[in-house]
């Protein structure tokens, strides 16, 4: 019998009688072609045995070491409260809040998530999340085409996370590459038929870009400016909405989501009030119930696939509600000061590390470019440095394949770890 099924043989017998068939097989009389063999899967394990396998495989990963990898996913502190809230069954085991009367918990938490994203980005409306940062970027690319009524064509530089760019391309949007010099993008020559201009800040190499210049360039050719921002950075950097960006998107993973080998994370998207009808995905709005009591409900549903079908803004249905809730709880715990402190700690530690590396004779690739917590250090042999780091019990930075190592430093790293990193890298170099 199936493991999580309550039925006894008598239950099954009684139910088959009511249905008017003899056997369970009869319930599949209409199925053709039938599969009549046994599934070639390993024999069923008890919970205890299955979890023992989980532990066994977990040991085959290198884990528990200080991590200097970033490049779109960051090893940040996740407060215990986040996990406690999102494992509440009422949140965990519910689905899309189509029945608002019994989904106010999810709906209000989405409303709070949207509010947080609006506050951070300086843009009026946010959606309830999309799959991840890369998909937020790709959806934004499509959105610029709808809003400008142009063919989807976006201008990006190497400063955009290459994985984001790849997803844009998978979505069949034309990509034009802007020049990238000394760590920042040159926006002076944007094609005049572009639908969007993308600026990631801090960019893939950790450098803070000029969102104002990007938006001026975009608006100059009638395109939209899309800013791609790490939400933690927005605690200290000017909100993209205040710098002329029309759309802001990004990866919400740094807000309380474990690394978990790449997901689930959550993508966020925000835009100004006039563009809201072109946002993909769900939007939660405030309203009242029959008694005039304030309540929340999914709104502007005419944009979505279940209503508009082939003409919908996007096919997205299930999004990342639970991880968006994690971001909401994380931000509540941190507050504006806590977020700023996370950012400042990371900046302090990253700059300490960069200074120490320089002092040991190594060079940063973009020595004059402003950065927060991620930077590129030039090494004679990145691969060897990473091997040496692993031997010393650390996970090194991203090997860029061109002599550069992209190093990320979060609030989790201690002085001791940073000093050890310098020691190993300087030696291996």
Ligand X SMILES: Cc1ncc(COP(=O)(O)O)c(C=O)c1O
CB of 356 to other proteins, least distance (A): 9
**Which tokens is 194 given?**
């572009």
The verdict on 402 binding other proteins (CB under 8 A) reads no
Window 338-357: residues binding other proteins (CB under 8 A):
338-342, 344-345, 347-349, 351-352
The verdict on 99 binding ligand X (CB under 6 A) reads no
- Chain-centroid distance, C-alpha 372: 19
Map residue 200 onto helix, strand or coil: strand
For the chain, how many residues are written?
429
Q: Looking at 179, 220, 222, 370, which residue binds other proteins (CB under 8 A)?
A: 370
The number of residues that bind ligand X (CB under 6 A) is 2
CB of 266 to ligand X, least distance (A): 15
CB of 298 to ligand X, least distance (A): 14
In angstroms, the CA 95 to CA 106 distance is 9
Map residue 361 onto helix, strand or coil: coil
CB of 227 to ligand X, least distance (A): 27
Q: Choosing among other proteins, ligand X, none, which partner's interface includes residue 359 (Cβ < 5 to 8 Å by kind)?
A: none
The verdict on 55 binding other proteins (CB under 8 A) reads yes
What x/- string results for residues 170 through 189 when contact with other proteins is judged by CB under 8 A? xxx-----------------
Window 13-52: residues binding other proteins (CB under 8 A):
14-16, 18-21, 24, 27-35, 38-47, 50-51
The number of residues that bind other proteins (CB under 8 A) is 204
The verdict on 304 binding other proteins (CB under 8 A) reads yes
CB of 143 to other proteins, least distance (A): 12
Window 381-400: residues binding other proteins (CB under 8 A):
386, 390, 395, 398
Contact 205, 376 (CB under 8 A): yes
The verdict on 133 binding other proteins (CB under 8 A) reads yes
Instruction: Count CA within 13 A, CB hemisphere, residue 22.
Output: 1
Contact 72, 251 (CB under 8 A): yes
CB of 273 to other proteins, least distance (A): 8
Q: What is the DSSP letter of 37?
A: S
Nearest 5°: the CA angle 44, 48, 52 is 95
Instruction: Count CA within 13 A, CB hemisphere, residue 174.
Output: 10
Choices 72-80, 174-182, 192-200, 215-223 (CB under 8 A): range interacting with other proteins = 72-80
In 3D space, the residue among 413, 248, 406 whose CA is nearest the CA of residue 345 turns out to be 413
Contact 247, 268 (CB under 8 A): no
Q: Looking at 229, 234, 252, 425, which residue binds other proteins (CB under 8 A)?
A: 234
The verdict on 61 binding ligand X (CB under 6 A) reads no
Contact 207, 183 (CB under 8 A): yes
Taking the least distance from each CB to other proteins, the nearer of 222 and 415 is: 415
The verdict on 318 binding ligand X (CB under 6 A) reads yes
Taking the least distance from each CB to other proteins, the nearer of 132 and 230 is: 132
In angstroms, the CA 406 to CA 379 distance is 11
Taking the least distance from each CB to ligand X, the nearer of 96 and 278 is: 96
Map residue 291 onto helix, strand or coil: coil
Q: Looking at 317, 367, 384, 419, which residue binds ligand X (CB under 6 A)?
A: 317
What x/- string results for residues 150 through 169 when contact with other proteins is judged by CB under 8 A? -----------x-xx-xx-x
For 186-232, where are the alpha helices, taking DSSP H only? 211-220
Contact 416, 66 (CB under 8 A): no
Taking the least distance from each CB to ligand X, the nearer of 260 and 317 is: 317
CB of 125 to other proteins, least distance (A): 5
CB of 165 to other proteins, least distance (A): 10
The verdict on 29 binding ligand X (CB under 6 A) reads no
**Which tokens is 259 given?**
């690394």
In angstroms, the CA 362 to CA 378 distance is 7
In angstroms, the CA 400 to CA 229 distance is 21
Q: Choosing among ligand X, other proteins, none, which partner's interface includes residue 405 (Cβ < 5 to 8 Å by kind)?
A: none
In angstroms, the CA 195 to CA 151 distance is 7
Q: Looking at 114, 148, 200, 203, which residue binds other proteins (CB under 8 A)?
A: 114
The total of other beta-carbon atoms located within 10 Å of residue 419's CB is 13
Element (H, E) at 270: strand 267-271
CB of 187 to other proteins, least distance (A): 15
Using CB under 6 A as the criterion, which residues of the chain lie in contact with ligand X when the complex forms? Answer: 317-318
């Amino acid at each position: 019998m199936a493991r999580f099924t309550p039925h006894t043989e008598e239950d099954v017998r009684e139910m088959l009688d009511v249905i008017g068939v003899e056997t369970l097989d009869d319930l599949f009389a209409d199925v053709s072609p039938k599969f009549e063999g046994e599934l070639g899967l390993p024999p069923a394990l008890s919970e205890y045995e299955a979890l023992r396998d989980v532990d066994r495989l977990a040991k085959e990963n290198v884990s528990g070491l200080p991590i200097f990898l970033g490049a779109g996913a960051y090893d940040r502190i996740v407060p215990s409260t986040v996990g406690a809230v999102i494992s509440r069954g009422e949140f965990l085991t519910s689905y899309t809040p189509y029945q608002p009367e019994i989904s106010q918990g999810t709906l209000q938490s989405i409303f709070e998530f949207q509010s947080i994203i609006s506050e951070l980005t300086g843009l009026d409306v946010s959606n309830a999340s999309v799959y991840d940062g890369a998909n937020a970027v790709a959806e934004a690319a499509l959105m610029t085409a709808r809003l400008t009524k142009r063919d989807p064509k976006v201008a990006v530089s190497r400063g955009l996370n290459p994985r984001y760019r790849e997803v844009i391309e998978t979505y069949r949007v034309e990509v034009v590459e802007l020049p990238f010099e000394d760590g920042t993008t040159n926006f002076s020559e944007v094609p005049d038929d572009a639908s969007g201009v993308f600026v990631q800040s801090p960019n893939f190499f950790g450098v803070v870009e000029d969102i104002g210049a990007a938006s001026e360039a975009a608006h100059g050719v009638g395109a939209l400016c899309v800013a791609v921002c790490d939400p933690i950075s927005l605690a200290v950097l000017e909100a993209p909405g205040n710098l002329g960006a029309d759309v802001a998107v990004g990866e919400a993973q740094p807000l309380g989501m474990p690394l978990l080998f790449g997901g689930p994370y959550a993508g966020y998207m925000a835009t100004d009030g006039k563009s809201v009808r072109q946002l993909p995905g769900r939007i939660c709005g405030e309203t009242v119930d029959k008694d005039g009591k304030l309540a929340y409900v999914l709104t502007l549903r005419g944009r979505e696939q279940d209503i508009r079908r082939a003409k919908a803004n996007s096919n997205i249905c299930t999004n990342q509600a639970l991880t968006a809730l994690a971001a909401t709880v994380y931000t509540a715990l941190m507050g504006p000061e806590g977020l700023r402190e996370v950012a400042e700690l990371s900046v302090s530690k990253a700059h300490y590390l960069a200074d120490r590396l320089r002092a040991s004779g190594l060079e940063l690739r973009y020595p004059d470019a402003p950065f927060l917590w991620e930077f590129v250090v030039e090494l004679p042999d990145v691969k060897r440095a990473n091997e040496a780091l692993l031997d010393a019990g650390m996970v090194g930075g991203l090997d860029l394949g061109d002599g550069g190592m992209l190093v990320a430093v979060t609030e989790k790293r201690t002085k001791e770890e940073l000093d050890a990193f310098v020691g190993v890298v300087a030696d291996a170099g």
